[in-house]
Amino acid sequence: MAGSSFSRWLRPRRLGWLLAGGAALAVLGVWLLGPRPPAWYPPCPFHALTGLHCPGCGSGRAVQALAHGDWVSALALNPLITLGLPLALAWAGHALWRALRHDLPPVELPRPIAAITFGVVLAFWILRNVPWWPCTLLAPHG
């Protein structure tokens, strides 16, 4: 019987509520930290080892800036996260709506969209490490 009670918790609707609550708490927590990121934010291990910027470098500080409505700082820190976040939120909102309204799992991301996303992230990773303008605008600063 333990397996059946566990599988009830994995139903899309319950999982959707759990994820929505967790996301709301995460946003509230980031907002409560204040407009300036705390000094204890972890550094990027890839940057620490190589001196290069990964696609996620600056994303924690960018999310911090976004939580306080500072889009200019967020763009300066990580334009990929800042511009991709509305798309990711739309997809997550659709998945959450399917789970809460219809008790359905999220639709899989179509392969062409996944391939394009991978290509964009890879291009961003390469270009943000090119030391010439305008590529230097992609490196985190601010």
Q: What is the pLDDT of residues 70-89, one digit of tens each?
A: 999 999 999 999 999 888 88
Task: For residue 46, give Cα distances in angstroms to 52, 96, 107.
Answer: 7, 32, 32
Q: How far from the centroid of its chain's Cα atoms is residue 42's Cα?
A: 16
Quote the pLDDT of residue 21.
77
**Distance in angstroms (rounded) separating the CA atoms of residues 128 and 137:** 7
Answer whether residue 1 shows pLDDT above 50: no
Sequence-ordered list of residues with C-beta below 8 angstroms from that of 85, at least 6 positions apart, any chain = 66
Closest Cα to residue 105, out of 14, 3, 2? 14
Q: Are 127 and 45 in contact (CB under 8 A)?
A: no
**Distance in angstroms (rounded) separating the CA atoms of residues 139 and 142:** 10
- Higher confidence at residue 79 or residue 100? 79
Q: Are 56 and 81 in contact (CB under 8 A)?
A: yes
**Residue 64 confidence class, pLDDT cut points 50, 70, 90:** confident
Average pLDDT over the chain, rounded to an integer:
82
Give the residue carrying structure tokens 């470098």: 57
Kindly report whether the global pTM for this prediction surpasses the value 0.75. Answer: no
Answer whether residue 33 shows pLDDT above 50: yes
Sequence length of the chain is 142
Quote the pLDDT of residue 57.
92
Quote the pLDDT of residue 4.
55
